[in-house]
Chains A and B, each alone.
Chain A
Amino acid sequence: MSMGFLLFEVRRITRARKFWVVAFLFPTLMYLMQANLFSGEIAEKTGVDFSSYLLGSLAAFGALFVALNVGTRVAFERSSGWQRQLRLTPLTATSYLVAKLTTAMVVALPAITVVALTGFALEGVRLPVLGWLHLVLGVWAGTLPFALLGVFIGQIASAETVQVLTTVSHMLLGVLGGALFPSVAFPQWMQVVSAVMPSRWLAEIGHSAFGGGQTALAAAILAGWTVLLGGAVAWRYVRDSARV
Chain B
Amino acid sequence: MNAYPRPNGESMNEAIGRLPAAVSVSGLHRSYGDVRAVRGVDLEIAPGEVVALLGPNGAGKSTLVDTILGLSRPDAGEVRVFGYSPREAITRGVVGATLQDGALLEDVSIRELLTMTASLHRAPLPIADVLRRTGLTDIADRRGKLSGGQRQRLRLAVTLVSDPSLLVLDEPTVAMDVESRNVFWASMREFTSAGRTVLFASHYLDEAEEFADRVVLLRAGVIIADGTVAEIRSVVAGRSLSATVPGVTLDRLRGLPGVVAAELRGQRAELVCADSDATARALFARFPEAHDVEIGAVGLEQAFLALTTDSATDSAADRAAVGTTESEAA
Contact = CB atoms under 8 A, between A and B. Distances in A.
Interface of A: 2-5, 8, 11-12, 15-16, 80-82, 84-85, 87-91, 244
Nearest to B117: A89
Contacts of B121: 89-90
15 contacts: A2-B119, A2-B120, A3-B119, A11-B112, A12-B107, A81-B103, A84-B99, A84-B103, A85-B102, A88-B99, A89-B117, A89-B121, A90-B91, A244-B71, A244-B72
B273 interface: no
Contacts, number: 66
Given A8-B112, A90-B90, A85 B69 contact: no
A75 to B, nearest CB: 14
Contacts of B115: 4, 8
Contact of B90 (A3, A12, A82, A88): A88
A202 B72 CA distance: 42
B108 interface: yes
Given A4-B115, A11-B112, A244-B71, A91 B120 contact: yes
B319 interface: no
Contacts of A88: 69, 71, 90, 96-97, 99, 102, 159
Interface in B91-118: 91-93, 96-97, 99, 101-105, 107-108, 112, 115-118
A35 to B, nearest CB: 35
Nearest to B98: A88
Given A8-B112, A90-B91, A81 B102 contact: yes
Contacts of B90: 87-90
B66 to A, nearest CB: 9
A96 to B, nearest CB: 11
Nearest to A243: B73
Given A4-B118, A15-B107, A84-B103, 17 more contacts: A4-B116, A4-B120, A82-B104, A84-B71, A85-B99, A85-B102, A87-B70, A87-B90, A88-B71, A88-B97, A89-B90, A89-B120, A90-B90, A90-B93, A90-B120, A90-B121, A244-B72
Interface residues of B, number: 30
A91 B99 CA distance: 17
B101 A16 contact: no
B328 to A, nearest CB: 24
A196 B117 CA distance: 43
A82 B118 CA distance: 17
Nearest to A87: B71
B25 to A, nearest CB: 17
A84 B115 CA distance: 19
A6 to B, nearest CB: 10
A91 B108 CA distance: 18
Nearest to A89: B120
Contacts of B70: 87, 244
Given A15-B107, A89-B90, A5 B96 contact: no
Interface-central residue, A82, A85, A88, A244, by most chain B CB under 10 Å: A88
A139 B45 CA distance: 57
A5 B119 contact: yes
A4 to B, nearest CB: 2
Contact of B108 (A2, A8, A84): A8
Contacts of B108: 8, 11-12
Contact of A8 (B96, B116, B158): B116
A84 B102 CA distance: 8
Contact of B105 (A82, A89, A244): A82
A206 to B, nearest CB: 32
Contacts of B104: 82, 85
B173 to A, nearest CB: 19
Interface in B175-207: none
A12 to B, nearest CB: 5
Interface string B2-43: 000000000000000000000000000000000000000000
Nearest to B72: A244
B221 to A, nearest CB: 19
B125 to A, nearest CB: 14
A241 to B, nearest CB: 11
Interface string B267-304: 00000000000000000000000000000000000000
Contacts of A8: 108, 112, 115-116, 119
B73 A244 contact: yes
A15 B107 CA distance: 7
